Every structure is written in C-alpha cells, then in structure tokens.
A and B are shown apart, each in its own frame.
Chain A
Amino acid sequence: MKTEPTAKDSMIISSSLEYREYLYLTIENKDIAERSMPGQFVMIKNWTGYEPLLLRPFDIVSADPLNKTFRLIIKITGKGTKLLKFAKTGDIIKVIGPLGKGLDNFNCKSIGLLLRGVGAAAAVFLAETAKQKGIDVYTFLSASTSERMVCKSDLLPFSTIMETATDDGSEGYRGNAVDLLDKALTKNKIDRVYTCGSKRFARFVKELDRFKRTEGFVFLEGFMACGLGDCHGCTVKKDGEESYFLVCQDGPVFPVSKVVIDG
C-alpha cells in the first residue's frame, strides 16, 4: 500500500515516563491519526541543531482519528531518546510520517503475537485492527522482568488469550515465551504469527514458518536516516538472494521466510 507521508510540526498532547525508561507520548497530527496503518512508523525529533543529526524512527502504537492524535512508546536508550525524554505536554516536535508499507491484508482467522520488551509497542495497532476485524488474537508477551513488560494493558483488550513470561518469573511463566507459543500451536491453529523485539523469537518464528506450523512475520528495525527510501541505509538481507530489502520501504514488517535474521 502506498503511503504519502507529510513532514509537520506537531504538538505533544501528553508525555509520561514510566519506570524511568519508557516514554509514553501522545502527539497531535491529523495526517498520521487519519491515515496510518498497523505496521507503520514515524520519524521524530524534539531538538534543534545538529546534535544528534538524524530523526529517530518509532512504530505507531495507536491512532485516534477522532482526536487527531497518535501514540508512541519509546524506550530511553541512546542520544536521541535521552533528549526525547524531556518532551513535555505542549512542546512542538518534528514528525515525518506515516512511513513504511503498513499491514493491510487481514485475510485470516487468527493471529499470534510473540513480543518482547518494548517491541510489544509495535504490535498494539495490529492487535487492535485484527480484533476489529473479528480475528482471534493470541498474545504471548515477554520481558526480562515484570517492570519491563510493556503494553500489557494496551494489548489485553484486543487479545482473545494473553499469556505472559518473564526471565525472572516476576510475571507469568518463568522462562522463554516461545514455549508458550509452541504449546498453543499444538492445541490451536494460529494462521499467522507476528514477532517483534527479539532476534531469538524471530529465529523461532522462522522455524515455525519453515515447518508450516504457521505463517510467520517479523517487525524489523534498521539504522535509517530518512525513512523515505532515499538514503538506502536500512538494508536487510533477502533470504536466498544476494540482495537487500529496505526496512523503511519494503517493511518494517516482513514475511519471515523472505529475510535473513542475523545476530
């Protein structure tokens, strides 16, 4: 599906920091609120000058056409996100979007979401849309510890079933969330599984796809400068071919069989 992004100064409607490392932003932007699709992203910055230079890409968590807003959940990690942390209600920030191909094929009966950490944020919009279309959503949410389990309350209303796992057992199953998905697949047919936030999960879903236990999809990220397909920075290697996709233009969601999961 074609996207025609805009570049606009947009107002922050609300900003809150949770557990000191997760920033929840609601941003006013009519174009993105009205036109974005699950799987799409925006590039933003709230600083002026050249340091850092590039805008930062984030997946759209939800879009609210009625209030002309969209939401982002950002993990504070590097230079750019450390500045974004200071974004306050009423601030004007630069926003380019919506970007990326977006998911518009919902021709299935059930989907599974295998998510880890802040990667869960990318799948909320997908879960919401799937639920609206009457598709069953099986959510497997994972984190190192309960404090790092992002989007549980966001995903819960859209999930037919939700299971959680943490590495330390502070929330739900203690261990690897792929065990939960594996078990669920032996009981139910899940037409598609989308994964985000973990290379380990992506490799697991690639195996599931290979053995035809489900159709696998992966949300990918890449170093990108523009998000518009101009810079050719955000490459991901095609599986079985000596060439590349661009994450911004061909993704960021890919059929897992088509891409090489490295690292």
Chain B
Amino acid sequence: MADLSVEIAGVKLKNPVMPASGTYEYSEMHKNFFTPSKLGALVTKTIFLNPRQGNPPPRIYETPCGLLNSIGIPSEGVENFIKHKLPYLKKFDSPVIVSIAENTVESFLRLCEKIEKTEQADMLELDLSCPNVQKGTEWSANKETLYKIVKEIKDSTSLPVIAKLSPLVSDISEMSLCAEEAGADAVSMINTIKGMAINISKRQPVLGNKTGGLSGPAIHPLAVYAVYSSYKKIRIPIIGIGGISSWEDAVELILAGAAAVGVGMYNFINPLVMKEIITGIEVYLDKNNFKRVKDITGLAVSSQS
C-alpha cells in the first residue's frame, strides 16, 4: 500500500485530501458518511473577527458544469469560533487549518494573534481571494498588497501560513512567487472566479449580491494550469483546489504540482467524495507502482518549458 502522507510546512498530513474552506461543516449531518479523522487536514470556513450574516439571497445559481455562489462567508466571529468550534475540531485526529480573512492588515494581525493564542490551530490559511466579500480578491490582486499582508502576518505569528490565491490575475505564478518571497509556507489555489448570471425575464442579476464566485468542474482546467505554472516557479508546497469531483481530478492536480488537494463544491453533490478520492489516489499509486504520493507531485511538469 502506497504511503499517502505528505508534509506541509512541517505539519504531517496522513493523506493529501482536505475540504476547501467553506464547503464542509464537520457536523452531525456527516456522521453516516465518514469521520473527519479520515481527512488529511480539517480546513475551517473562513473566520473573521466579528460575526457576519453573509450576503442576501439568492446566494447560489447553477451554471453549465458549475455553481455560482455569493454566500459572502457567514461567520460566528472569532470568539465563538474559539469557544465552540475549535475545541470540537481538535477532537478529531487530523491537523486543523484555520482559514481567516479581514479587511485591513491590522485586523488580520489581531485575528492571527487570537487564533495563535489558543494553541489549537496547526496552520493558518489566509483567504486573500474570496470574490464575495469587501476586500476579497484585492488582497491577492497585486504584488505589493500580497507581499505586505503575507510578510506582516509571517513576522507576527509562529504558525505556518498558507496564502490562498485568486486566479483573477494575469499570471498567478508571479503571485505564488511573491507569496513565497514574503515568507508564506505554502500557497493554495484557486479560489472561485468572479462571475455573474442574469435573469432575462426580470432583466436583473440572479444573485442577491449581483456577482458570485464560480466553482465546480467548469473551473478545473484553470486550477490545473494555475498549479502547473506555479509549481515551476516556487519551492513551497501547493494545495491544489478547483473543480475536483473525483480521484482522477485530484491526481491530475497532484501531477501538475500540488502537494495536497482541497475538495470544494463537490462535497455538496457527493458527501462521500473526499473518502472516495483518498481511496482512489491510493489505488492509482499502487497500480502504477508508486510507493509514495509525494513521488508523483509535479510529475507532469516538464523541466524544460
């Protein structure tokens, strides 16, 4: 049996599969599907300092092979998160990656400090790319802003930091490099892509927030390319996210250079999908005589080009 374990910023994951932030609640509803302890890591929904209600409905709209969402990150706020959710997540046998976002550098730093103090988070994922919130994608839209936020956070925390990047830039590999230079321990990509749908009877946007983020199988090739191009430029690990709906999609991202993968909206369609992906990767490695999942990261990336 192949070794599925991977290491991200010194944190050992038993396998490379985790939920993408905001798509999995670790709730009782999943009791009959599988235990979160099966997962490589537990990524939380993005936490802000204060509670948030999220955007007005309608919040989701189905598009060809995709889903537009304008959820807008409803959040219980960091105090409630620390009191209720974090201790619950620590009961499972997988590292906890706390996803965080804020609107200013100062509030980002305050949030990091609060999470670090609990000593219950294993890593931080900076959500620098949500298209549905105030500052959202701006954090990773230009190098100066990205460098500053990652650097400031890295200088102030001892927790490993993952920078989650947006594909809404001319060259995401440059942004990956920028995050690496600023000290990020890993990058995750891609977040959803800003999009819109219009109701032609009402002659107005479908979503309550007008715009949304596109996810689902439709965006998978964008994720593959983003990971592929970044892998060629950076040394820090990449968590590949975007349109994964099967183990084949996960393997594709790993071959493109991902050390681990995040499964997003497909959890909504098949609540067993992450478990199936873990098994699928293992079978693929065994069948192709690979001893470790690490050995196939980036195998499809040619060194010449």
Residues of A participating in the B interface, judged by any CB pair closer than 8 Å: 2-7, 50-55, 79, 94, 96, 222-226, 228-237, 242-244, 249
CA distance A154 to B57 in the complex (A): 34
Chain B residues whose C-beta falls within 8 Å of the C-beta of A79 in the assembled complex: 62
CA distance A59 to B205 in the complex (A): 29
Q: Which of B25, B62, B71 lies in contact with A229, CB distance below 8 A?
A: B25
Chain A residues whose C-beta falls within 8 Å of the C-beta of B53 in the assembled complex: 242-244
Given contacts A6-B33, A225-B265, A235-B54, 11 further A-B contacts (CB under 8 A): A3-B29, A50-B65, A50-B245, A223-B59, A223-B61, A224-B60, A226-B269, A228-B29, A228-B271, A230-B29, A235-B56
- The residue on A at minimum CB distance from B265 is A225
CB pair A4 B32 closer than 8 Å = yes
Quote the shortest CB–CB distance from A100 to chain B (angstroms).
11
Q: Which of A2, A54, A235, A242 lies in contact with B268, CB distance below 8 A?
A: A54
CB pair B25 A230 closer than 8 Å = yes
CB pair B66 A236 closer than 8 Å = no
Q: Which of B33, B54, B67, B216 lies in contact with A232, CB distance below 8 A?
A: B54
Quote the shortest CB–CB distance from A250 to chain B (angstroms).
13
CB pair A230 B32 closer than 8 Å = no
CB pair B59 A233 closer than 8 Å = yes
Q: Which of B25, B54, B218 lies in contact with A228, CB distance below 8 A?
A: B25
CB pair A229 B60 closer than 8 Å = no
Residues of B participating in the A interface, judged by any CB pair closer than 8 Å: 23-25, 27-33, 53-54, 56-62, 64-67, 69, 71, 74, 216-218, 245, 265, 267-272
User: Which 3 A-B pairs rank lowest in CB-CB distance, beginning with the nearest?
Assistant: A226-B268, A233-B60, A225-B268
CB pair B54 A4 closer than 8 Å = no
Summarize B's interface: helix, strand, loop or mixed. loop
Chain A residues whose C-beta falls within 8 Å of the C-beta of B267 in the assembled complex: 226, 230
Instruction: Take A51-B65, A96-B271, A231-B69 as given contacts and tell me if A223 and B58 are in contact as well, using a CB distance cutoff of 8 Å.
Output: yes
CB pair B23 A52 closer than 8 Å = no
Task: Provide a sorted-by-A list of 19 A–B residue pairs whose CB atoms are within 8 angstroms.
Answer: A4-B28, A6-B32, A50-B217, A54-B62, A222-B57, A225-B69, A225-B268, A225-B269, A228-B30, A229-B25, A230-B27, A232-B59, A232-B71, A233-B58, A233-B60, A234-B57, A235-B54, A235-B56, A242-B53
Quote the shortest CB–CB distance from A46 to chain B (angstroms).
14
- The residue on A at minimum CB distance from B208 is A235
Quote the shortest CB–CB distance from A132 to chain B (angstroms).
27
- The residue on A at minimum CB distance from B23 is A230
Quote the shortest CB–CB distance from B170 to chain A (angstroms).
28
Instruction: Take A50-B245, A53-B66 as given contacts and tell me if A231 and B71 are in contact as well, using a CB distance cutoff of 8 Å.
Output: yes
Quote the shortest CB–CB distance from A199 to chain B (angstroms).
14
Chain A residues whose C-beta falls within 8 Å of the C-beta of B54 in the assembled complex: 232, 235, 244
Chain B residues whose C-beta falls within 8 Å of the C-beta of A236 in the assembled complex: 57
- The residue on A at minimum CB distance from B216 is A53
CA distance A228 to B27 in the complex (A): 9
CA distance A225 to B271 in the complex (A): 11
Of B59, B61, B267, the most chain A CB neighbours within 10 A belong to B59
CA distance A228 to B33 in the complex (A): 12
Of B24, B33, B66, B268, the most chain A CB neighbours within 10 A belong to B268
Chain A residues whose C-beta falls within 8 Å of the C-beta of B27 in the assembled complex: 228-230
- The residue on A at minimum CB distance from B55 is A235
Chain A residues whose C-beta falls within 8 Å of the C-beta of B62 in the assembled complex: 52-54, 79
CB pair B67 A53 closer than 8 Å = yes
Chain B residues whose C-beta falls within 8 Å of the C-beta of A54 in the assembled complex: 62, 67, 268-269
Q: Which of A2, A7, A230, A235 lies in contact with B24, CB distance below 8 A?
A: A230
Chain A residues whose C-beta falls within 8 Å of the C-beta of B270 in the assembled complex: 7, 94
- The residue on B at minimum CB distance from A249 is B29
Chain B residues whose C-beta falls within 8 Å of the C-beta of A50 in the assembled complex: 65, 216-218, 245
CA distance A224 to B265 in the complex (A): 12
Quote the shortest CB–CB distance from A263 to chain B (angstroms).
11
CB pair B65 A244 closer than 8 Å = no
Chain A residues whose C-beta falls within 8 Å of the C-beta of B23 in the assembled complex: 230-231
Of B24, B27, B29, B31, the most chain A CB neighbours within 10 A belong to B29
CA distance A21 to B58 in the complex (A): 26
CB pair B271 A226 closer than 8 Å = yes
CA distance A7 to B266 in the complex (A): 14
CB pair A2 B71 closer than 8 Å = no
- The residue on A at minimum CB distance from B217 is A50
CB pair A223 B60 closer than 8 Å = yes
Chain B residues whose C-beta falls within 8 Å of the C-beta of A5 in the assembled complex: 29, 32
Chain B residues whose C-beta falls within 8 Å of the C-beta of A6 in the assembled complex: 32-33
Chain B residues whose C-beta falls within 8 Å of the C-beta of A55 in the assembled complex: 269
Q: Which of A53, A234, A242 lies in contact with B269, CB distance below 8 A?
A: A53
CA distance A136 to B115 in the complex (A): 55
CB pair A7 B57 closer than 8 Å = no
